[in-house]
Amino acid sequence: MIFERFAVFTLKVNTKILEFYKYLLRETESLLGQIFFTLCFFILTGILWYAWIIEYPLWLKIGFTAVYLVSSLFCISAIYFILKRKRIRTIANTMEVYTLTDPGAEKFQHLNLKSIALTRVQTSGIFNEVSEKYLYGSYQSFQSLLLLKPVSSRNRLAWKDLSPKSTKHVNRQTLLEFLSQLLIGFETLDNHQMIMLVEHYFILKNPKAVEQHVSTKNISDWRNNDAPYLEEISRLIQKHLKVITS
């Protein structure tokens, strides 16, 4: 019984550590991840130096040295990954273009997705009304979303709708509902594909300009969410679908 509880506790701790690690790797713009792993590296180095100058048993010093080498390799790898990702993002912003050889763009071409049938008037109407409350960005980026064409990270649409539970968080639920109403087949995508699609076309920042991301939990909550504010998204789009154009 004790071993079973210990195993469950270990798995929970491991999951939390992995989630925290992934969160830090995502925080490239705020430099949080880079600062955290750099501090860890210097702290570990200081502890190692202290352990060798103090009269500790030799086996303890050697054991901690092994732990230090593994931990340092982990920190250095994380810092390298963050810097490399930041460099790639900077280059993409400078070029302001994604080519069709971009791996993310190629995956979208193979997804079983297509936009609902919209006329130019309907597309413009939906964009204008959604822009009033839910998002801001260029009309060209919105068209790229409907056509599943690649966009640069600088030209991504910004989802500005805030969660009704906390104004510190962007409302991912309305964003997912918006995409499910616009793109046929969106609901059949797996969680990873949904996240990739959102990350490519949207940037989510709260009022303090902290970038946020869609998680698998957000997707799971959305699939079981029947809140009235999601129906507003559906009504908004359906209203423009009823527009008769010549």
**In this structure, what are the phi and psi dihedrals at residue 113, rounded to the nearest 5 degrees?**
-130, 150
Residues 196 and 218 occupy one common structural domain: yes
Q: Which position has the higher pLDDT, 224 or 1?
A: 224
Distances from the Cα of 104 to the Cα of 138, 173, 176, 198, angstroms: 21, 23, 19, 11
Residues 123 and 30 occupy one common structural domain: no
Q: Residues, the chain, total? A: 246
pTM, entire model? 0.57
Query: How many C-beta atoms lie closer than 10 Å to residue 61's C-beta?
Result: 14
Domain, as residue range, for 154 = 103-241
Which of 232, 213, 202 lies closest to 138, judged by CA? 202
Residues 235 and 145 occupy one common structural domain: yes
Residues 79 and 135 occupy one common structural domain: no
Residues 53 and 36 occupy one common structural domain: yes
Report pLDDT digits (tens) over 62-121.
877 888 888 888 878 777 776 766 665 555 444 443 333 444 445 566 778 888 888 889
In a domain, 246, yes or no: no
Q: Which of 42, 76, 95 represents a domain boundary (last residue)?
A: 95
Residues 91 and 122 occupy one common structural domain: no
Report the helix count and the strand count for the chain, using DSSP H and E: 10, 6
Residues 14 and 118 occupy one common structural domain: no
pLDDT given for residue 22 in this prediction:
60
Q: Which position has the higher pLDDT, 20 or 114?
A: 114
Report pLDDT digits (tens) over 115-142.
888 888 999 999 999 998 999 999 999 9
Max mean pLDDT range (24-33, 74-83, 175-184): 175-184
Residues 52 and 75 occupy one common structural domain: yes
What is the count of structural domains for the chain? Answer: 2
